[in-house]
Structure 1
Amino acid sequence: MTDTSSTVYVLNGPNLNLLGLREPDIYGSDTLDDIAGMLEDRAREHGLTIDMRQTNHEGMLVDWLHEAMAESARAVLLNAGAYTHTSIALLDAIRSITVPVIEVHLSDPKTREAFRHLSYVGMAAAKTVEGHGAKSYLIALDAVASREV
Protein backbone atom coordinates (compact mmCIF):
# COMPACT_ATOMS: atom_id res chain seq x y z
CA MET A 1 0.00 0.00 0.00
CA THR A 2 1.30 3.43 -0.82
CA ASP A 3 0.85 5.90 2.00
CA THR A 4 -0.34 8.91 0.06
CA SER A 5 -2.68 9.92 2.88
CA SER A 6 -1.54 12.16 5.67
CA THR A 7 -4.23 10.94 8.08
CA VAL A 8 -3.26 8.87 11.08
CA TYR A 9 -6.09 7.21 12.95
CA VAL A 10 -5.60 7.15 16.73
CA LEU A 11 -7.99 4.57 18.15
CA ASN A 12 -8.52 4.17 21.87
CA GLY A 13 -10.39 1.38 23.59
CA PRO A 14 -12.26 0.79 26.81
CA ASN A 15 -11.84 3.00 29.85
CA LEU A 16 -9.43 5.37 28.13
CA ASN A 17 -12.15 8.02 28.31
CA LEU A 18 -11.32 8.06 32.05
CA LEU A 19 -7.66 8.94 31.64
CA GLY A 20 -6.59 11.54 34.15
CA LEU A 21 -9.03 10.11 36.70
CA ARG A 22 -8.43 6.37 36.47
CA GLU A 23 -5.40 5.07 38.38
CA PRO A 24 -3.13 8.07 37.69
CA ASP A 25 -0.27 6.23 39.41
CA ILE A 26 -0.34 3.78 36.49
CA TYR A 27 -1.71 5.82 33.57
CA GLY A 28 -0.65 9.36 34.47
CA SER A 29 -2.67 12.52 34.89
CA ASP A 30 -3.03 13.43 31.19
CA THR A 31 -6.55 13.15 29.83
CA LEU A 32 -7.35 11.80 26.40
CA ASP A 33 -8.02 15.40 25.32
CA ASP A 34 -4.53 16.36 26.57
CA ILE A 35 -3.02 13.55 24.51
CA ALA A 36 -5.07 14.58 21.46
CA GLY A 37 -3.71 18.13 21.77
CA MET A 38 -0.12 16.90 21.98
CA LEU A 39 -0.66 14.62 18.98
CA GLU A 40 -2.26 17.35 16.89
CA ASP A 41 0.68 19.68 17.56
CA ARG A 42 3.21 16.98 16.67
CA ALA A 43 1.23 15.88 13.63
CA ARG A 44 1.28 19.43 12.24
CA GLU A 45 5.08 19.46 12.60
CA HIS A 46 5.17 16.30 10.47
CA GLY A 47 2.56 17.43 7.94
CA LEU A 48 0.12 14.81 9.22
CA THR A 49 -3.48 14.91 10.40
CA ILE A 50 -4.86 13.07 13.42
CA ASP A 51 -8.26 11.38 13.56
CA MET A 52 -8.59 10.62 17.30
CA ARG A 53 -11.39 8.37 18.56
CA GLN A 54 -12.36 6.44 21.69
CA THR A 55 -14.91 3.71 22.31
CA ASN A 56 -15.71 1.18 24.99
CA HIS A 57 -17.00 -1.26 22.34
CA GLU A 58 -14.82 -3.89 20.67
CA GLY A 59 -16.82 -4.04 17.43
CA MET A 60 -16.46 -0.29 16.95
CA LEU A 61 -12.67 -0.65 17.05
CA VAL A 62 -12.93 -3.37 14.39
CA ASP A 63 -15.13 -1.12 12.24
CA TRP A 64 -12.69 1.78 12.62
CA LEU A 65 -9.74 -0.41 11.61
CA HIS A 66 -11.63 -1.40 8.46
CA GLU A 67 -12.48 2.26 7.85
CA ALA A 68 -8.81 3.22 8.16
CA MET A 69 -8.02 0.93 5.24
CA ALA A 70 -11.06 2.05 3.21
CA GLU A 71 -9.98 5.68 3.70
CA SER A 72 -6.33 4.88 2.86
CA ALA A 73 -5.05 6.11 6.21
CA ARG A 74 -1.29 6.49 6.56
CA ALA A 75 -1.28 4.41 9.77
CA VAL A 76 -3.24 3.54 12.89
CA LEU A 77 -2.07 4.09 16.45
CA LEU A 78 -4.11 1.65 18.54
CA ASN A 79 -4.41 1.62 22.31
CA ALA A 80 -6.92 -1.19 22.64
CA GLY A 81 -6.90 -1.09 26.45
CA ALA A 82 -7.97 -4.40 27.97
CA TYR A 83 -8.99 -5.71 24.53
CA THR A 84 -5.26 -5.97 23.85
CA HIS A 85 -5.20 -9.12 25.96
CA THR A 86 -8.53 -10.67 24.97
CA SER A 87 -9.56 -9.77 21.44
CA ILE A 88 -8.93 -12.21 18.66
CA ALA A 89 -11.37 -10.04 16.68
CA LEU A 90 -8.87 -7.15 16.82
CA LEU A 91 -6.02 -9.50 15.90
CA ASP A 92 -7.97 -10.65 12.85
CA ALA A 93 -8.97 -7.09 11.91
CA ILE A 94 -5.37 -5.88 12.03
CA ARG A 95 -4.26 -8.85 9.93
CA SER A 96 -7.07 -8.08 7.47
CA ILE A 97 -6.01 -4.54 6.65
CA THR A 98 -3.04 -3.17 4.75
CA VAL A 99 -2.64 -0.06 6.89
CA PRO A 100 0.24 -0.39 9.38
CA VAL A 101 -0.90 -0.51 13.01
CA ILE A 102 1.25 0.57 15.94
CA GLU A 103 0.20 -0.81 19.30
CA VAL A 104 0.38 1.89 21.98
CA HIS A 105 0.30 1.58 25.78
CA LEU A 106 0.78 4.20 28.46
CA SER A 107 2.12 1.64 30.94
CA ASP A 108 4.32 -1.37 30.22
CA PRO A 109 2.03 -4.40 30.31
CA LYS A 110 4.99 -6.76 30.75
CA THR A 111 5.67 -5.26 34.19
CA ARG A 112 2.08 -5.65 35.35
CA GLU A 113 -0.27 -8.55 36.10
CA ALA A 114 0.48 -11.80 34.26
CA PHE A 115 -2.75 -11.66 32.25
CA ARG A 116 -1.52 -8.42 30.64
CA HIS A 117 1.61 -10.09 29.24
CA LEU A 118 -0.25 -11.58 26.26
CA SER A 119 -1.02 -9.12 23.47
CA TYR A 120 -3.21 -10.25 20.62
CA VAL A 121 -2.85 -6.77 19.13
CA GLY A 122 0.94 -7.08 19.29
CA MET A 123 0.81 -10.35 17.35
CA ALA A 124 -0.29 -8.39 14.27
CA ALA A 125 0.97 -4.85 14.91
CA ALA A 126 3.91 -3.51 12.92
CA LYS A 127 5.41 -2.01 16.08
CA THR A 128 4.67 -1.64 19.79
CA VAL A 129 5.37 1.44 21.92
CA GLU A 130 4.75 1.03 25.65
CA GLY A 131 5.68 2.34 29.04
CA HIS A 132 6.29 6.02 28.25
CA GLY A 133 3.00 7.42 29.52
CA ALA A 134 1.36 9.91 27.15
CA LYS A 135 4.67 10.16 25.27
CA SER A 136 4.05 6.62 23.95
CA TYR A 137 1.61 8.17 21.48
CA LEU A 138 4.16 10.78 20.35
CA ILE A 139 6.86 8.13 19.89
CA ALA A 140 4.45 6.09 17.77
CA LEU A 141 3.50 9.13 15.68
CA ASP A 142 7.17 9.97 15.15
CA ALA A 143 7.68 6.40 13.90
CA VAL A 144 4.92 6.91 11.34
CA ALA A 145 6.39 10.24 10.24
CA SER A 146 9.87 8.76 9.82
CA ARG A 147 8.38 5.83 7.90
CA GLU A 148 9.61 3.22 10.38
CA VAL A 149 6.32 1.45 9.69
Structure 2
Amino acid sequence: MQQYSILVLHGPNLNLLGKREPNIYGSVTLDEINLLLAGEEEKLGVVVSFVQSNHEGILIDTIHQAWGKHQGIIINAGAYTHTSIAIRDALSAVKIPTVEVHLSNIYQREAFRHHSYIAPVAIGQISGFGAQSYRLGLYALVDHLKKLDNG
Protein backbone atom coordinates (compact mmCIF):
# COMPACT_ATOMS: atom_id res chain seq x y z
CA MET A 1 0.00 0.00 0.00
CA GLN A 2 1.24 3.47 -0.95
CA GLN A 3 2.11 5.61 2.07
CA TYR A 4 1.25 9.27 1.67
CA SER A 5 2.77 12.22 3.45
CA ILE A 6 0.12 14.77 4.40
CA LEU A 7 0.82 18.30 5.61
CA VAL A 8 -1.78 19.84 7.91
CA LEU A 9 -1.57 23.63 8.07
CA HIS A 10 -3.34 25.52 10.85
CA GLY A 11 -3.57 29.27 10.39
CA PRO A 12 -3.88 32.25 12.70
CA ASN A 13 -5.53 32.00 16.11
CA LEU A 14 -6.01 28.24 15.87
CA ASN A 15 -3.44 27.87 18.64
CA LEU A 16 -6.18 29.31 20.89
CA LEU A 17 -8.69 26.55 20.18
CA GLY A 18 -10.42 25.29 23.29
CA LYS A 19 -10.25 28.78 24.82
CA ARG A 20 -11.26 31.08 21.97
CA GLU A 21 -15.00 31.47 21.39
CA PRO A 22 -15.95 27.88 22.25
CA ASN A 23 -19.54 28.65 21.23
CA ILE A 24 -18.25 28.97 17.65
CA TYR A 25 -15.14 26.78 17.52
CA GLY A 26 -15.89 24.20 20.23
CA SER A 27 -13.83 23.12 23.20
CA VAL A 28 -11.39 20.84 21.35
CA THR A 29 -7.79 22.07 21.43
CA LEU A 30 -5.39 22.15 18.51
CA ASP A 31 -3.33 19.39 20.15
CA GLU A 32 -6.47 17.24 20.34
CA ILE A 33 -7.18 17.81 16.64
CA ASN A 34 -3.59 16.81 15.81
CA LEU A 35 -3.93 13.67 17.95
CA LEU A 36 -7.21 12.82 16.21
CA LEU A 37 -5.50 12.94 12.82
CA ALA A 38 -2.36 11.16 14.02
CA GLY A 39 -4.65 8.38 15.26
CA GLU A 40 -5.74 7.78 11.65
CA GLU A 41 -2.23 7.41 10.23
CA GLU A 42 -1.88 3.63 10.41
CA LYS A 43 -5.42 2.93 9.26
CA LEU A 44 -5.06 5.19 6.22
CA GLY A 45 -1.41 4.51 5.42
CA VAL A 46 -0.33 8.11 5.87
CA VAL A 47 2.21 10.13 7.77
CA VAL A 48 0.81 13.45 8.96
CA SER A 49 2.90 16.54 9.74
CA PHE A 50 1.48 19.59 11.49
CA VAL A 51 2.35 23.27 11.31
CA GLN A 52 0.50 26.14 12.99
CA SER A 53 1.41 29.75 12.44
CA ASN A 54 -0.15 33.12 12.99
CA HIS A 55 2.10 34.51 10.25
CA GLU A 56 1.16 34.49 6.58
CA GLY A 57 4.76 34.27 5.36
CA ILE A 58 5.50 31.19 7.47
CA LEU A 59 2.42 29.46 6.04
CA ILE A 60 3.54 30.36 2.51
CA ASP A 61 7.11 29.17 3.14
CA THR A 62 5.74 25.90 4.54
CA ILE A 63 3.59 25.40 1.43
CA HIS A 64 6.64 26.00 -0.77
CA GLN A 65 8.69 23.51 1.27
CA ALA A 66 5.94 20.90 0.84
CA TRP A 67 6.72 20.65 -2.87
CA GLY A 68 8.27 17.23 -3.52
CA LYS A 69 7.88 16.23 0.13
CA HIS A 70 4.13 15.89 0.74
CA GLN A 71 1.49 14.37 -1.52
CA GLY A 72 -1.40 16.29 0.03
CA ILE A 73 -2.25 19.33 2.14
CA ILE A 74 -5.08 19.99 4.54
CA ILE A 75 -5.38 23.67 5.35
CA ASN A 76 -7.44 25.70 7.76
CA ALA A 77 -6.12 29.13 6.91
CA GLY A 78 -8.40 30.80 9.44
CA ALA A 79 -9.04 34.43 8.55
CA TYR A 80 -6.41 34.23 5.78
CA THR A 81 -8.98 32.14 3.88
CA HIS A 82 -10.86 35.36 3.17
CA THR A 83 -7.91 37.71 2.68
CA SER A 84 -4.78 35.99 1.39
CA ILE A 85 -4.22 35.88 -2.32
CA ALA A 86 -0.61 35.01 -1.48
CA ILE A 87 -1.59 31.73 0.24
CA ARG A 88 -3.91 30.94 -2.67
CA ASP A 89 -1.06 31.58 -5.12
CA ALA A 90 1.35 29.40 -3.13
CA LEU A 91 -1.11 26.50 -3.16
CA SER A 92 -1.69 26.99 -6.87
CA ALA A 93 2.05 27.08 -7.57
CA VAL A 94 2.94 23.83 -5.82
CA LYS A 95 -0.01 21.93 -7.34
CA ILE A 96 -0.32 19.60 -4.33
CA PRO A 97 -3.87 18.32 -3.86
CA THR A 98 -5.34 20.42 -1.06
CA VAL A 99 -8.47 20.19 1.07
CA GLU A 100 -9.68 23.35 2.78
CA VAL A 101 -11.28 22.79 6.19
CA HIS A 102 -13.07 24.96 8.72
CA LEU A 103 -14.41 24.14 12.16
CA SER A 104 -17.46 26.37 11.79
CA ASN A 105 -19.79 26.66 8.82
CA ILE A 106 -18.35 29.81 7.27
CA TYR A 107 -21.50 30.29 5.19
CA GLN A 108 -23.64 30.67 8.32
CA ARG A 109 -21.42 33.43 9.64
CA GLU A 110 -20.63 37.02 8.68
CA ALA A 111 -20.82 37.82 4.97
CA PHE A 112 -17.08 38.56 4.73
CA ARG A 113 -16.40 34.91 5.65
CA HIS A 114 -18.44 33.58 2.72
CA HIS A 115 -15.63 34.15 0.22
CA SER A 116 -12.61 31.84 0.11
CA TYR A 117 -9.53 32.59 -1.95
CA ILE A 118 -8.41 29.00 -1.34
CA ALA A 119 -11.52 27.14 -2.56
CA PRO A 120 -10.83 27.66 -6.29
CA VAL A 121 -7.43 25.94 -6.01
CA ALA A 122 -8.49 23.21 -3.56
CA ILE A 123 -9.95 19.84 -4.53
CA GLY A 124 -12.68 20.43 -1.96
CA GLN A 125 -13.83 22.24 1.14
CA ILE A 126 -15.30 20.86 4.37
CA SER A 127 -16.77 23.17 6.99
CA GLY A 128 -19.10 23.15 9.94
CA PHE A 129 -18.26 19.83 11.58
CA GLY A 130 -15.92 21.07 14.28
CA ALA A 131 -12.80 18.94 14.75
CA GLN A 132 -14.38 16.28 12.52
CA SER A 133 -13.94 18.65 9.56
CA TYR A 134 -10.22 17.81 9.71
CA ARG A 135 -10.86 14.07 9.93
CA LEU A 136 -13.33 14.19 7.05
CA GLY A 137 -10.83 16.24 5.07
CA LEU A 138 -8.10 13.68 5.69
CA TYR A 139 -10.30 10.81 4.52
CA ALA A 140 -11.38 12.75 1.41
CA LEU A 141 -7.80 13.70 0.57
CA VAL A 142 -6.49 10.13 0.93
CA ASP A 143 -9.35 8.84 -1.22
CA HIS A 144 -8.46 11.43 -3.88
CA LEU A 145 -4.77 10.47 -3.81
CA LYS A 146 -5.60 6.76 -4.17
CA LYS A 147 -7.78 7.51 -7.17
CA LEU A 148 -4.94 9.50 -8.75
CA ASP A 149 -2.56 6.56 -8.23
CA ASN A 150 -5.03 4.08 -9.71
CA GLY A 151 -5.52 6.19 -12.81
**Alpha-carbon distance in structure 1 between the residues aligned to 2:77 and 2:94:** 16
> Quick one: which of 111, 114, 120 aligns to 1:114?
111
The 1-side partners of 2:123 and 2:44 are apart by 20
1:47 aligns with 2:45: yes
Partner of 2:8: 10
Aligned residues: 145
Q: Which amino acid is 2:38 matched to? A: E
Aligned pairs (5 A) from 1:52-71:
52-71=50-69
Q: Which amino acid aligns with 1:147?
A: H
Tell me the equivalent position of 1:143.
140
TM-score w.r.t. the length of structure 2 is: 0.92
Segments of 4+ moved more than 3 angstroms: none
Q: Deviations over 1:69-123 (max 9, x none)?
A: 131x120000000000000001111110121111010001111001101100112
Contact 1:28–1:133 (8 Å) recurs in 2: yes
Residue aligned with 1:129, SS: strand
Q: Secondary structure at the match of 2:18?
A: coil
| C-alpha distance in structure 2 between counterparts of 1:132 and 1:7, whole Å | 24
CA distance in 1, matches of 2:77, 2:130: 15
Q: Aligned partners of 1:44 and 1:66: how far apart in 2?
A: 26
Q: 1:7-62: per-residue Cα shift (whole Å, max 9, x none)?
A: 10000000000000000111011000000000001122111011011000001111
1:33 aligns with 2:7: no
TM-score (norm: length of structure 1)? 0.93
Question: 5+ residue gaps in structure 2?
Answer: none
Q: Percent identity?
A: 46
Tell me which amino acid in the other structure corresponds to 1:44.
E
1:132 corresponds to: 129
Alpha carbon RMSD of aligned pairs, Å?
1.3
Match of 1:102 in 2: 99
